[in-house]
Chains A and B, each alone.
Chain A
Amino acid sequence: MFLIPEPIGRFFHRLASPPHFYALTNRLMPWLVALFLILLISGLVGGLYLAPADYQQGDSYRIIYIHVPAAWMSLFIYMMMAIAGAIGLIWRIKLAEIVAISSAPVGAAFTFIALVTGSLWGKPMWGTWWVWDARLTSELILLFLYLGVIGLYGAIDDKKTASKAVAILALVGVVNIPIIHYSVEWWSTLHQGATVTKMDKPSIHVSMLIPLLLMALAFKFYYVIAMLQRAKLELLQRERTAQWVKKLITEQTL
């Protein structure tokens, strides 16, 4: 900690204390929800109404505005979960453990959305709901990893042990992340290659790119909101006997 300036260290120390985190979450929530809704509505208007139809895929391509951001989130949240899990494992920070496990259901939701919307896009464009190719299969494995994390955490009663087990599982599963990303280059597939996340200029027109990025940003805010809701529940469950929870209850019933 000697490299970190004093006020920043103090900020993180306070943030890691459960009652402070709980109160801060409550104060931030309206702002997070407002930003999320602004981004979501402008993204949807841009994607569904303002952007032109694709010259090959017609209007079916509009599924891209949820499919691609959801798929990005499925990878992003997994990395956040693994990093938070590692921090919890190394420094025994309770809040990091809670962020890790609270990320899992949100990540699973986005992975499910990526798979289902991909299927609904694949049917009219490829002529099939599903193919067992590398991209689709590795994304399905990601869903099972998320469900495995949730199941493992629920199966172990002692939540300290459960957090450790879950962090190790999440870290082992990180190998799947580059496989998903590069699967479209390494193996032949029906799935199209990267359009935005590549070294070259994105091969998408700006009128289609802007709503895509707005939706991606909206989903990032959604992740923070949904993860914090889960974290609040998790924190109360773990700290149900703590003094600050008792204070919270008596304040609410008064």
Chain B
Amino acid sequence: MTLAEFFYMGGYAFYVWTAYGICFVVLLATMILPMIKRKQLLRKLALKEQRQL
């Protein structure tokens, strides 16, 4: 099987790769978003702590 054949997916390339793409993006976002929000929260709490000192 050549690389072009692999990506062609027997003519179903659009359906297969869109499905895998959406799955990848949604799962990545679900994992990364709380990590970003946690960093922001920790920064906010640290600032507040410094002001109180």
| Chain A residues in the interface with B (C-beta under 8 A) | 48-49, 53, 58-60, 62-63, 66-67, 70, 105-106, 109, 112-113, 116-117, 120-121, 123-124, 222, 225-226, 229-230, 232-233, 236-237, 240, 245-246, 248-250, 252-253
Residues of B close to A248: CB separation below 8 A: 42
Q: How far is the CA of A49 from the CA of B46 in the complex (A)?
A: 49
Residues of B close to A222: CB separation below 8 A: 27, 31
A67 and B11: CB pair below 8 A?
A: no
Q: How far is the CA of A97 from the CA of B35 in the complex (A)?
A: 20
Nearest CB on B from A45, distance (A): 11
B30 and A58: CB pair below 8 A?
A: no
B contacts with A: majority SS: helix
A229 and B12: CB pair below 8 A?
A: no
Encoded as 1 (CB less than 8 Å from any A CB) or 0, chain B from 1 to 30 comes to 100001001111001101110110011011
Residues of A close to B9: CB separation below 8 A: 59-60, 62
A229 and B31: CB pair below 8 A?
A: yes
Query: CB < 8 Å: which of B15, B26, B37, B38 contacts A121?
Result: B15
A59 and B10: CB pair below 8 A?
A: yes
Query: CB < 8 Å: which of A60, A117, A120, A226 contacts B30?
Result: A226
Residues of B close to A63: CB separation below 8 A: 15-16, 19
Q: How far is the CA of A184 from the CA of B52 in the complex (A)?
A: 61
Residues of A close to B37: CB separation below 8 A: 233
B30 and A233: CB pair below 8 A?
A: no
Q: What total of chain B residues lie within 8 Å of the partner, measured CB to CB? A: 28
Nearest CB on A from B53, distance (A): 10
Most chain B beta-carbon contacts within 10 A, residue among A112, A233, A250: A233
Nearest CB on A from B6, distance (A): 7
Most chain B beta-carbon contacts within 10 A, residue among A226, A248, A250: A226
Q: How far is the CA of A233 from the CA of B18 in the complex (A)?
A: 31
B16 and A249: CB pair below 8 A?
A: no
A60 and B23: CB pair below 8 A?
A: no
Q: Which residue of A lies closest to B8 (CB)?
A: A59
B45 and A240: CB pair below 8 A?
A: yes
Query: CB < 8 Å: which of B1, B19, B34 contacts A233?
Result: B34
A225 and B34: CB pair below 8 A?
A: no
Q: How far is the CA of A112 from the CA of B25 in the complex (A)?
A: 12
Residues of A close to B30: CB separation below 8 A: 105-106, 109, 226
Nearest CB on A from B8, distance (A): 8
Q: How far is the CA of A12 from the CA of B20 in the complex (A)?
A: 38
Q: How far is the CA of A112 from the CA of B18 in the complex (A)?
A: 14
Nearest CB on B from A39, distance (A): 14
B27 and A124: CB pair below 8 A?
A: no
Residues of A close to B46: CB separation below 8 A: 249, 252-253
